[in-house]
């Protein structure tokens, strides 16, 4: 990929920043301060029916501020009407300490090599500069792989913006489900998701880190655009913001979005036939022609956006 100058088009800036973020944190995004939704607005929630039974499918936002709550009533009603909540990962069954151990096992170089030895000099210099700006000692990151360094810098930047994974839609719904005695399940394991990033090629990981450090300052503005589209349930606007840039890297798009969507659909069909289930996955997985909603529609299911 050739270097880009400062005169990006708005589409490219938004697309690249959001594509990057989804690669880093597996189709997640963030919301900034919420505004009241108009009465006619929908949410990024669909009711999927086979004519006899149905399930709800929600496009999630994984990072939020506490002031973004309460969620749209349609989302809360869907959870209340369901017996089981299905997430990408069962957050109620994944301890934070175990998640940290699993991540660190994959994040560091087993052969003793360093970050500087595995990325281009330009990439390393940019990462070191950003780490310094964020108050992070680059020596701590030396044993780590590019995907983990990129993720670390993005998460720290999000925290400076007041965004918190503990306030994300997934976590909120998981805790609400637990409090009301509902069962929770996961479509994937934590180890599988970590592996998606760890298996990216050396070139893709270098690119991921380089663009992450270049785009950190764009996160706040881009998330503002996303939150407004998400709150309106504007799938077309979200597709433009989240998917256009991802498709510039077809191999990554296939692995992170398309292949996972196709694996999930048979499981989601079972939940539709079962009834009483709410499935919550990253918003990007529901959008566009490769998204879960269009796949289910093509298979003959009735889909109704709520």
Across 23-51, b (16+ Cβ under 10 Å) vs e yields bbbbbbbbbbebeeeeeeebbbbbbbbbe
Tell me how many domains the chain contains. Answer: 1
pLDDT number for residue 70 = 87
> From CA 262, how far away is CA 267, in angstroms rounded?
10
Tell whether 68 is covered by a domain. yes
- What average pLDDT score do residues 92-115 get? 88
302-305 and 277-282 as β-strands: parallel, antiparallel, unpaired? Answer: unpaired
Domain holding 282, by residue range, is 11-28+42-94+164-202+217-305
Helix%, strand%, coil% for the chain, nearest 5: 55, 10, 30
Question: Phi/psi at 188 (nearest 5 deg)?
Answer: -140, 175
DSSP one-letter string for 237-281: HHHHHHTTTGGGSHHHHIIIIIHHHHHHHHHHHHHHHH-SEEEEE
Tell whether 106 is covered by a domain. no
Q: What is the pLDDT of residues 232-274, one digit of tens each?
A: 899 999 888 888 777 777 777 888 899 999 999 999 999 999 9
CA 265 to chain CA mean position, Å: 18
> From CA 30, how far away is CA 171, in angstroms rounded?
13
Tell whether 252 is covered by a domain. yes
Tell whether 230 is covered by a domain. yes
Q: pTM of this prediction?
A: 0.84
Q: What is the pLDDT of residues 50-83, one digit of tens each?
A: 999 999 999 998 887 888 788 999 999 999 999 9
The three-state secondary structure class of 85 is strand
Tell whether 66 is covered by a domain. yes
Distances (CA, A) of 186 to 96, 99, 152, 197, 278: 16, 14, 24, 19, 12
Tell whether 238 is covered by a domain. yes
pLDDT number for residue 4 = 36
Q: What is the pLDDT of residues 159-211, one digit of tens each?
A: 888 888 888 899 999 999 999 999 999 999 988 988 988 998 999 899 889 98
> From CA 13, how far away is CA 34, in angstroms rounded?
23
- pLDDT-derived band at 18, boundaries 50, 70, 90: very low
Tell whether 280 is covered by a domain. yes
Tell whether 175 is covered by a domain. yes
């Amino acid at each position: 990929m050739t270097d880009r100058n400062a005169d990006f088009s708005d589409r490219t800036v938004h697309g690249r920043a959001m594509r990057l973020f989804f690669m880093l944190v597996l189709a997640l995004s963030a919301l900034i301060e919420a505004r009241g939704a108009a009465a006619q607005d929908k949410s990024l929630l669909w009711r999927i029916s086979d004519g006899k039974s149905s399930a709800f499918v929600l496009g999630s936002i994984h990072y939020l501020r506490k002031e973004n709550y309460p969620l749209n009533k349609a989302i809360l009603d869907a959870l209340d009407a369901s017996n089981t909540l299905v997430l990408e990962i069962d957050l109620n069954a994944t301890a934070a300490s175990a998640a940290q151990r699993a991540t660190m096992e994959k994040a560091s170089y087993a052969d003793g090599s360093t970050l500087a030895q595995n990325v281009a000099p330009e990439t390393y210099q940019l990462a070191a500069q950003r780490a310094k700006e964020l108050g992070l000692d680059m020596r701590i990151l030396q044993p780590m792989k590019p995907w983990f360094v990129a993720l670390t810098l993005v998460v720290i930047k999000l925290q400076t913006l007041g965004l918190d994974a503990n306030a994300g839609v997934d976590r909120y719904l998981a805790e609400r489900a637990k409090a009301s005695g509902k069962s929770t399940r996961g479509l994937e394991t934590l180890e599988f998701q970590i592996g998606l990033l760890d298996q990216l090629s050396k070139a893709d990981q270098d690119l991921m880190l380089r663009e992450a450090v270049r785009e950190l300052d764009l996160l706040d503005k881009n998330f503002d655009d996303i939150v407004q589209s998400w709150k309106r349930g504007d799938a077309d606007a979200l597709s433009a913001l989240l998917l256009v840039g991802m498709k510039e890297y077809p191999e990554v798009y296939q692995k992170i979005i398309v292949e996972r969507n196709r694996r999930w659909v048979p499981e989601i069909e079972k939940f539709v036939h079962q009834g009483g289930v709410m499935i919550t996955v990253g918003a990007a997985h529901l959008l566009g022609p490769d998204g879960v909603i269009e796949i289910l529609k093509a298979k003959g299911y009735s889909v109704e956006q709520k």
